[in-house]
């Protein structure tokens, strides 16, 4: 942990790679002391090393019912209550509805919906008391539309967008904003896993599989992690922006 000198605190979940890493570096560059959490200590330490400002590495499994409380309590004790919370941790699974197991269904709900809910429930009181706070959930365009073979993932992302909208309505006069950023296919390890799944199931090459995903977006390329981080930053900076699901997908879903 590096020393913090009165900077506002931002908590980023899933901060070890991909979008979470980009968001952590961006907020650090913006003057926030960043608390970084994911399951991998090694990845978090690598991210902390490239953040220009103070950073705190707090490994955690947010699917554990007590994890959100323990995580935020430690940040409050060592620094102060987070002013910004970016709930980015998430995962996907691909299967047809009839082949989706109870375990896969529950995994998607636990990580993509229940974990953000617990984090919001734990961090909102201090934000309300301070009359200022910014909550951003990294959802997906799957929160807006349905696609085949990702029913559990889609259900969890639709659910978390509902959570964002309800929380934003509750907090509209409190100084606390709640938004979702909804990326399409982003150039991340999660998309690499999707590519590999297409390869395994169809026999296509990795290059062909990646081209299929790129073609789903009108600009025919993957979104970059930095483009998603800029959308998160807009939610942090703009106090009139709340209750929104902001699509970052090259124009695929117009809403």
Rounded to the nearest 10°, the torsion over CA 97, 17, 137, 131 is: 160
pLDDT at 78 (0 to 100): 96
| Residue for token pair 């117009």 | 254
User: Checking DSSP bridges between strand 245-248 and strand 9-13, what pairing results, if any?
Assistant: unpaired
d(C-alpha 115, C-alpha 4), whole Å: 27
Q: Is 185 a catalytic residue?
A: no
Residue 213 pLDDT greater than 90, yes or no: no
pLDDT at 89 (0 to 100): 93
Residue 3 pLDDT greater than 80, yes or no: no
pLDDT at 25 (0 to 100): 98
d(C-alpha 41, C-alpha 177), whole Å: 30
Q: Grade residue 248 by pLDDT with cuts at 50, 70 and 90.
A: very high
Closest CA to 99 of 143, 157, 152, 145: 152
Q: How far is CA 218 from CA 156, 180, 185, in A?
A: 25, 22, 12
What is the share, in percent, of the chain residues with pLDDT greater than 90? 82
pLDDT at 161 (0 to 100): 98
Residue 68 pLDDT greater than 80, yes or no: yes
Residue 255 pLDDT greater than 90, yes or no: no
Tens digits of residue pLDDT in 157-201: 999 999 999 999 999 999 999 999 999 998 888 888 888 888 888
Q: Which of 32, 149, 153, 185 is catalytic?
A: 153
Tokens at 110, concatenated: 């636990």
Q: Grade residue 17 by pLDDT with cuts at 50, 70 and 90.
A: very high
User: Checking DSSP bridges between strand 33-37 and strand 9-13, what pairing results, if any?
Assistant: parallel
Arithmetic mean of pLDDT, 137-153: 95
Q: Backbone phi, then psi, for 15, in 5-degree steps?
A: -85, 0
Arithmetic mean of pLDDT, 38-62: 97
Closest CA to 239 of 180, 177, 173: 177
Domains of the chain (ranges, CATH numbers): 9-184+224-248 (3.40.50.720), 186-222 (no CATH)
* Lowest-confidence pick of 2-16, 122-136, 191-205: 191-205
What is the share, in percent, of the chain residues with pLDDT greater than 70? 100
pTM of the predicted model, to two decimals?
0.94
């Amino acid at each position: 942990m590096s020393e913090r000198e009165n900077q506002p605190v931002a908590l980023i979940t899933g901060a070890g790679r991909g979008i979470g890493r980009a968001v952590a570096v961006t907020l650090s560059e913006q003057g926030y002391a960043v608390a970084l959490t994911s399951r991998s200590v090694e990845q978090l330490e690598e991210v902390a090393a490239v953040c220009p400002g103070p950073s705190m590495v707090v490994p955690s499994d947010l699917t554990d019912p007590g994890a959100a409380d323990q995580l935020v309590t430690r940040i409050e004790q060592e620094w102060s209550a987070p002013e910004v919370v970016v709930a980015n941790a998430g995962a996907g699974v691909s299967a047809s509805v009839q082949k989706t197991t109870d375990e896969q269904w529950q995994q998607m709900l636990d990580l993509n919906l229940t974990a953000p809910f617990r984090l919001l429930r734990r961090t909102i009181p201090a934000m309300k008391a301070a009359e200022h706070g910014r909550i951003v959930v990294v959802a997906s365009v799957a929160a807006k539309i349905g696609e085949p073979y990702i029913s559990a993932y889609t259900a969890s992302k639709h659910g978390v967008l509902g959570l964002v909208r309800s929380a934003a309505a509750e907090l509209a006069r409190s100084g606390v904003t709640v938004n979702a950023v909804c990326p399409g296919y982003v150039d991340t390890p999660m998309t690499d896993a999707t590519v590999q799944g297409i390869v395994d199931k169809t026999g296509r090459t990795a290059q062909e599989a990646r081209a299929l995903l790129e073609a789903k977006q009108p600009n025919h390329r993957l979104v970059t992690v930095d483009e998603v981080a800029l959308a998160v930053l807009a939610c942090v900076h703009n106090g009139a922006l709340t209750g929104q699901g902001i699509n970052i997908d090259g124009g695929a879903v117009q809403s």
